[in-house]
Structure 1
Amino acid sequence: MFWMLITVLTAQRAAEMAVARRNEQKVKKQGAIEFGEGHYPYIITMHILFFLSLIAEVLLLHKQPSNWWSGIAAAILAVQAIRYWALCSLGAYWNTKILVVPGVELVKKGPYKWLKHPNYTVVVLEIILIPLLYQAYFTMCLFSLLNAVMLSVRIRAEEQALREYTAK
């Protein structure tokens, strides 16, 4: 079951990167400006290391699924639904990079009605729930901390770009 989870999550991430590349091409044709290029490689690296840490912790420490695995798995599925709701709500504007088309209004539909950054909320929850599924507490704690630091940089850059370049 563990390898199936890793395979599904890896395939999901690869598909999201393909969507992001396609969306990047679309919005750059509309004049999109990229922000936060300096920290982007660190985000990608952090996410790769998250999965490597999870795999290492589960395999090397012989971690087993939590006794609460069914509830945690249900929560992970619910979080994925929010991820795709956010992605669909942004359409071509969804990306893993900070790309802003000057003068375009902020999206205020879907989960963006209630949350400024639903996709980041999803990532925070995933970094907790996925390791929790296999009792990989080291990975959960370490990457929750690293992600908090990363998001403090990322959200600041994104908010500044949106303030300066979106329609008022």
Structure 2
Amino acid sequence: MTQAWYAVLVGLVAAERLAELVIAQRNLAWSLARGGWEAGSAHYPFMVGLHTALLVGCVTEVWVADRAFPGVLGWTMLALVVASQALRWWCIRVLGHQWNTRIVRVPGLPPVTAGPYRVVAHPNYVAVVVEGFALPLVHGAWLTAAIFTALNTPLLTVRIRAEDEALRSARA
């Protein structure tokens, strides 16, 4: 895979993120119209910035450091990127109007326990973690993978705690 094709891949992931934001805005409006409320919003700008930096870092590191495509590792990481996208869209489909990039709870709606949520409490975050190391490693951007993972770990800890608290308070 050339650096140009890798940039196209990252661009496709960026376009997918923009599609997610459109869906999230639509779902936010739907939730707020039904009395929904947002939890844990303080970390959201940092999350957006970190995920944007991941995409920029992937392309920048590959071009500036002239990273070579790592062969079998690159193809394996590409397969993981595709799998993480599939998992993310499965989550979006299963959650329907309840899916969001923000933590939003609608009174009276029970937590979803179908699809991947039968097996894992936060499957969307599994997709985020996998994508966070796999996308950079598709083309050897190991520094971006390491930095994103190091910064994303405490962020996800805060986010999962906020989401779990919102789910608990919705049941109370």
Query: Shorter chain as normaliser: what TM range?
Result: over 0.9
**Partner Cα separation in structure 2 for residue 100 and residue 19 of structure 1:** 16
Amino acid at match of 2:35: G
Retained in 1: the 8 A contact 2:31–2:106? Answer: yes
**Partner Cα separation in structure 1 for residue 144 and residue 113 of structure 2:** 34
Counterpart selection for 1:78 from 83, 91, 98: 83
**Partner Cα separation in structure 2 for residue 118 and residue 129 of structure 1:** 16
- 1:125 paired with 2:130, answer yes
Cα distance, 1:147 vs. partner? Answer: 0.5
Instruction: Show the counterpart of 1:87.
Output: 92
Amino acid at match of 2:12: V
- CA deviation digits over 1:86-113, x for unaligned, max 9? 1100000000000001221110001000
Cα distance, 1:56 vs. partner? Answer: 1.5
Instruction: Map 1:106-145; keep pairs closer than 5 Å.
Output: 106-145=111-150
Instruction: Show the counterpart of 1:155.
Output: 160
Retained in 1: the 8 A contact 2:28–2:100? Answer: yes
Q: 5+ residue gaps in structure 1?
A: none
**Partner Cα separation in structure 2 for residue 50 and residue 70 of structure 1:** 19
Amino acid at match of 1:25: A
- CA deviation digits over 1:42-65, x for unaligned, max 9? 100111111122122111000122
**Partner Cα separation in structure 2 for residue 112 and residue 27 of structure 1:** 20
Counterpart selection for 2:53 from 44, 49, 54: 49
**Partner Cα separation in structure 2 for residue 5 and residue 134 of structure 1:** 10
Q: 5+ residue gaps in structure 2?
A: none
Counterpart secondary structure, 1:38: helix
Say what the alpha-carbon RMSD is for the aligned residues. Answer: 1.1
Counterpart selection for 1:28 from 26, 32, 35: 32
Amino acid at match of 1:59: W
Cα distance, 1:79 vs. partner? Answer: 1.6
Instruction: Show the counterpart of 2:66.
Output: 62
Instruction: Show the counterpart of 2:20.
Output: 16
TM-score, with structure 2 as normaliser: 0.93
TM-score, with structure 1 as normaliser: 0.96
Retained in 1: the 8 A contact 2:80–2:131? Answer: no
Q: Matched residue pairs, number? A: 167
**Partner Cα separation in structure 2 for residue 72 and residue 128 of structure 1:** 8
Instruction: Show the counterpart of 2:151.
Output: 146
